[in-house]
Amino acid sequence: MTILANRYEFVYLFDVTNGNPNGDPDDGNRPRIDPETNRGLVSDVCLKRKIRNYVALEKDGGARHAIYMQEKAILNLQHKLAYQVVGIEPDKKLPKDSKKADELTQWMCNNFFDIRAFGAVMTTGVNCGQVRGPVQLAFATSIEPVLQMELSITRMAVTTEADSEKQKDNRTMGRKHILPYGLYRAHGFISAKLAERTGFTEDDLELLWRSLTNMFEHDRSAARGEMAARRLIVFKHESALGNEPAHTLFDAVTVVRKKKDAELPARLFSDYDVLIDNTKIPSGVEVIHRI
C-alpha cells in the first residue's frame, strides 16, 4: 500500500432535475438555499454520506473498508474493538502510554475508510483519540439561483381502520418539495501530509474518485430520482505541500451559461459551458479530467 504523496484539489459538478438534493430539516425539508442569493446549497455532510454509502456497497465491509459513521451505528462499540486488539480495558481517557494510545487511533484508521479519509473525533466515552482527515469538502453551491417548488401529492390509502371510517374516499394529502433544475459546484481538498497520519493510500484515492463518479447511481429515491455527476476536474500537485494556492486553481474553472437561450431558466447540463483557463495553471500542477 502506497501512502498518498501528492496534494490534490478538485472541482465537482453535479445536477438535479425535479428533485430535492439536500433537504433542510429546519425548513420543512425544503431544498437548502442561501436566502440572500437564492442559490441552492448541498452540505459537505450530505456529500460525505453518499461517499460512505458507495464505499459500503462496493467493498461490503471488507478489510480496511468498514464504515465508522453509519446508520444505527453504536460508536463506542467500534472503539471497544480497538481496545480488544491492543489488549487493554476500555477507558474514557487515552492510555498514558503514548505507544498504546497511537495503536488505538491507528487501528481505527486502518479499519475504517471514512476515518482514514475524513477523520473523526473518537472521544465519546470510550476514547480512541481524534484525527484530522486528509479529504475535506466544502458546501456545494448552485451555479445560478434555484426555484423551490412545493407540490401537492395524494395517497390513496389510510393508516388505520379509524382513519378509513373518517375518510370516505381513503385519500390523504401530502406535500413534496423539488427544484426543477440545479447545477451545483463543490470544491474538495486532499492533503498528502494528513494522509501520512491516517494511512490514506493511492488505492483509497482511486476509491474516492469512483465514489464521486458513481455515488448518485446508487442513491435514487422519490426525492432524488435524477441526480448525476457531470464533471470531476482534479488538480494534482507535484509536491506533498502543493505548488499553488487552492483558490487560484479553482478560479481557473468557470461555469457559464451558453449564449443561446441564456435568458431562459436552465433545465439541462448542456445549457452550460465548463471552461478551464490553462494560463492560470502553473507548472507543477497537472489537470486531470476524471469525468
Q: Residues 272, 276, 277, CA angle at the centre, nearest 5°?
A: 130
Phi/psi of residue 57, nearest 5 degrees: -70, -45
The verdict on residue 254 lying in a domain is: yes
- The per-residue pLDDT for 170 is 64
Helices (H), the chain: 44-59, 75-86, 98-111, 113-118, 161-166, 192-198, 202-214, 246-251
Q: What is the pLDDT of residues 58-69, one digit of tens each?
A: 999 888 999 999
d(C-alpha 271, C-alpha 262), whole Å:
8
**Chain centroid offset of residue 139 CA:** 9
Per DSSP, 112 falls in state B
- The per-residue pLDDT for 209 is 98
Classify the phi-psi angles of 38: left when phi > 0, otherwise alpha if psi is within -120 to 50, otherwise beta: left
Q: What is the pLDDT of residues 20-47, one digit of tens each?
A: 999 999 998 999 999 999 999 999 999 9
Question: Is 285 in contact with 276 (CB distance < 8 Å)?
Answer: no
| Strand runs labelled E in the chain | 8-19, 23-24, 30-31, 39-42, 119-122, 129-132, 135-137, 140-145, 149-155, 172-190, 226-237, 253-257, 272-276, 285-289
**Chain centroid offset of residue 20 CA:** 16
The verdict on residue 160 lying in a domain is: no
The verdict on residue 166 lying in a domain is: no
The verdict on residue 206 lying in a domain is: yes
Domain count, the chain: 1
The verdict on residue 159 lying in a domain is: no
The verdict on residue 3 lying in a domain is: no
pTM of the model: 0.93
The verdict on residue 122 lying in a domain is: yes
Low-confidence ranges of the chain (pLDDT < 70): 163-171
d(C-alpha 202, C-alpha 3), whole Å:
6
d(C-alpha 54, C-alpha 67), whole Å:
10
- The per-residue pLDDT for 162 is 75
The verdict on residue 157 lying in a domain is: no
Q: Identify the domain containing residue 92 by its residue range.
A: 8-151+176-289
d(C-alpha 224, C-alpha 182), whole Å:
12
- The per-residue pLDDT for 72 is 86
